[in-house]
Amino acid sequence: MLKMILDLDTGIDDGMALAYAIGSKEIELIGVTGTFGNVYTEDGVQNVLNILNMCDANHVPVYAGESHAMNQSSFDRLEVSARIHGENGVGQVSIETSPRQKEEGSAIDFLIESIKKYKKDLVIVATGPMTNLTLALKKAPEIKEMMGRVVIMGGALTVPGNASPYTEANISQDPEAAKYLFESGVDVTMVGLDVTQRSLLTNAHTQSWRETGSVAGKTYADMVDYYISQHFDTNGCYLHDPSAVINAVHPEFFTVLPMHMTVVTEGEAVGRTIGDPYKLRDANPNVKVCIGVNSPELVNHLHKTLMSLFKK
Ligand code: BDR
Ligand code: CA
């Protein structure tokens, strides 16, 4: 079993990534850390607690992380996130409030302790801004040498962004954090819009979740139907965050191009993920950039895993 921590800004597709991790027989979910992005950190953390409770996974500890980007003092939620994910982050669907509270400690300390404990056996999947992870690396630089893979959902190499023509939302909300992570020497895989927008879930999938008759199946069907309704250019919804968590377990579904990646932190294109022109001739590229995906296989695998969770 692959030990995993999820760093989420929950968010409907973060919620799908979480359900996949709970339902997967290949993942041991060590904990969840919450960040800002689709919602404010405290609301995202509450969504995680509620989802874990609904899916009988109350053994998974949940920690709150940063509430804003590294070089800002507060967080302004993007209007587009409120529309796509609903005001409450889960498509205006009401999920029973968990009786459980988040853990006392900070997400950053939890990340540091877990990396020291599990070392290369732990994979961290970040599907919001990379602030928590980067602050952990800055606070305890010795973990860089110890840690295993990091998979992020973020960025775009070959397609336009979704937060601006240049930028993808997770990177654009804390470009300095993403840049630091990319240049840290850690083993990073970038699952960007190049691949996440190629895989779609449709109302036919959500209808079969609903037909399981379980509370989780019905709730997820309502959440994802809302998400689908906010995609005006397709008949389904993009699989951003689920693609990242699936990459951690099934890298064979993806085509990867190792590159020297950096992030633009100034000017009009701030937040853009781009090749580092100063490193062109250097050996050992720093980021494994996903450029292709076997979408039918990924969608089928995700659907099967979620069905097995919802049927319980
Ligand atoms: C990313 O931004 C958020 O809206 C989604 O949850 C995903 O992590 C896509 O750009
Ligand atoms: Ca997300």
* pLDDT, tens digit, 9 for 90 and up, residues 194-224: 999 999 999 999 999 999 999 999 999 999 9
pLDDT at 51: 98
pLDDT at 77: 83
> What is the domain extent for residue 291?
2-310
Which atom of ligand 1 lies at the shortest distance from residue 81's CA?
A: 4
**Share above pLDDT 70 across residues of the chain, in percent, rounded to a whole number:** 100
pLDDT at 79 over 90: no
Condensed to tens digits (0 to 9), the pLDDT of residues 19-65 reads 999 999 999 999 999 999 999 999 999 999 999 999 999 999 999 99
User: Is 9 assigned a catalytic role?
Assistant: yes
Residue 86 gets the label, from left (phi > 0), alpha (psi -120 to 50) or beta, of left
pLDDT at 272: 97
CATH code of the domain containing 143: 3.90.245.10
Residue-averaged pLDDT of the chain: 96
Distance CA 114, CA 291 (A): 30
Q: How far is the CA of 258 from the centre of ligand 2 (A)?
A: 23
Query: In the structure, what pLDDT confidence band is assigned to residue 80 with cuts at 50, 70 and 90?
Result: confident
Higher pLDDT, residue 79 or 186: 186
For residue 27 the two structure tokens come to 């993942």
Distance CA 92, CA 262 (A): 36
Return the residue whose CA atom lies nearest to atom 8 of ligand 1: 127
Residues with CB under 6 A from ligand 1: 11, 13-14, 38, 81, 127, 153, 162, 168-170, 240-241
Residue 287, classified by CB atoms within 10 Å of its CB into exposed (0-12), middle (13-18) or buried (19+), is buried
- Return phi, psi of residue 125, to 5°: -115, 120
- Span 108-122, mean pLDDT? 98
User: Lowest-confidence range among 83-92, 241-250, 275-284?
Assistant: 275-284
Q: Which of 220, 197, 293 is nearest to 22 (CA)?
A: 220
Query: In the structure, what pLDDT confidence band is assigned to residue 288 with cuts at 50, 70 and 90?
Result: very high
Which atom of ligand 1 lies at the shortest distance from residue 168's CA?
A: 10
Q: Which of 18, 63, 65 is nearest to 37 (CA)?
A: 65
pLDDT at 47: 98
Which atom of ligand 1 lies at the shortest distance from residue 196's CA?
A: 9
Number of compact structural domains in the chain: 1
pLDDT at 78: 80
